[in-house]
């Protein structure tokens, strides 16, 4: 499992594929298919999920900061109110 993850990241790709390729040359079809599906589909899905979560969190943080700023401005103007 770890070796397939390393192959998916293209780190040490030859170290993973060549020992298997030496025992059975048809195994290259598996590795090519695995890389195509993994690199062009799975990595894009993982990246899209990470980006979506990041933008959702950024939007929530921005909304919280805006609400907090409005509340602090209200409190500051309430302090300086002379008619009070």
Contacts of 67 (CB under 8 A, 6+ apart): none
Q: Which pTM was predicted?
A: 0.59
Averaged over 66-73, what is the pLDDT?
A: 97
Contacts of 58 (CB under 8 A, 6+ apart): none
pLDDT digits (tens, 9 = 90+) for 5-60: 777 777 777 888 888 889 999 988 988 898 888 888 988 999 999 999 999 999 99
Q: 6, 16 in Cβ contact below 8 A?
A: yes
Determine which helix (DSSP H) or strand (DSSP E) holds 4, and give its type and residue range: helix 2-8
pLDDT band at 3 (very low <50, low <70, confident <90, very high): confident
Chain position carrying tokens 């993973």: 16
């Amino acid at each position: 499992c770890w070796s397939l993850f390393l192959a998916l990241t293209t780190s040490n790709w030859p170290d993973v594929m060549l020992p298997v390729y030496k025992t059975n040359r048809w195994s290259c079809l598996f590795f090519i298919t695995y890389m195509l599906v993994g690199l062009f589909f799975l990595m894009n899905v993982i990246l899209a999920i990470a980006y979506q979560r990041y933008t959702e969190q950024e939007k929530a943080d921005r909304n919280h900061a805006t609400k907090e700023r409005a509340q602090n401005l209200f409190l500051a103007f309430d302090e300086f109110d002379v008619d009070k």
